Amino acid sequence: MSERPTALITGASRGVGAAVARAFAPTHHVILGGRDESALAALAAELPGARAWPVELTSVAERDVAGIDRLDVLVHSAGLTRLGRIGDLPAPVWRETMELNLFAAAELTRLLLPALRRARGHVLCVNSGAGLRANPGWGAYAASKFALRAFADALRQEEPELRVTTVYPGRIDTDMQRGVREQEGGAFEPEKYLTAESVARAILAACTAGPDAHLTELTLRPIEGPVT
């Protein structure tokens, strides 16, 4: 019997990252990356074969990935949203946003490239509609997501033996979205949003499309009106 593939998911302590971990757990060894050690430990206990990987992604180093010799799937799900008009956002907010949404993903990928190459693996970047269109008040976040898109496009061309997918979901029913709506001053309306589980299933589908299929971009939007 062949050994199960391995998937590393960042931002796995909650939201989309946790949903992705649950989606992959039946078929993969899952490495749960994130800051919240207790939440990661609880999820690892729930998923057979999963292990917590507490890490500060903005300072990830060689020692953190020691022992990961082969990696079939890397999902960049960790991220943060800081809204505000350009005239009101100081440089530290831009730096914080870029550090987690872009630099951490780029550095972790760089460190794991030998393991990914060995498995002819798949890198998936959870982006946003803001990675395709920038709106007022979203300058810092959109800039980080536009840059993440460019990172994925470059990686895809530089590493032709890897598959690289950028996922552009609309609003998702998560704690992060609740915080976004608070920053926007609007109501949190989960019935109008995607579920984290739907996004996770789409990510899993991109990874299981077949060895001859390279799904480079995936856009998801909530269905308007009642679901029948």
Phi, psi of 213 (to 5 degrees): -115, 130
CB 168, CB 142: distance < 8 Å: no
Strands 217-220 and 6-9: unpaired
CB 132, CB 156: distance < 8 Å: no
Q: Is 168 among the catalytic positions?
A: no
Amino acid sitting at position 158 = E
Cα dihedral 204, 206, 207, 208, rounded to 10, equals 90
Distances 14 to 62, 91, 138, 196 between C-alpha atoms, Å: 25, 28, 23, 10
> Which residue in 53, 103, 141, 168 is the catalytic one?
141
- The residues annotated as belonging to the active site are 141
